[in-house]
Amino acid sequence: MREQMENRIESLRAEYRAGQAILADLEGRQTSLKITMTRISGAIQVLEELLQGIDSDADITKPAEIPETRVAA
């Protein structure tokens, strides 16, 4: 009986160590994913600001409409 309990304890310890390793890997992957998502978010923000700048520049450089004038003959 004692031997079975000791074997079970060792088995559970091995499973626990394996779980710790998996958890550490997942935490590392989570950190990496958060960094990647932050970079993507920053890129989106920069591109959106550039698009707004292009739209603003287009409004400034767009020639003003000149109303038609009729010259009396």
Give the pLDDT score at 69: 61
Give the pLDDT score at 59: 63
In a domain? residue 39: yes
pLDDT < 50 regions, the chain: none
Measured distance CA(32)–CA(72) in Å, rounded: 74
In a domain? residue 43: yes
In a domain? residue 35: yes
No. of H helices and E strands in the chain?
Answer: 1, 0
Our count of domains for the chain comes to 1
In a domain? residue 21: yes
In a domain? residue 46: yes
4-21 tens-digit pLDDT: 999 999 999 999 999 999
Compute the residue count for the chain.
73
Domain enclosing residue 42, as ranges: 1-57
Give the pLDDT score at 16: 98
Gyration radius of the chain's alpha carbons = 33
In a domain? residue 45: yes
In a domain? residue 69: no
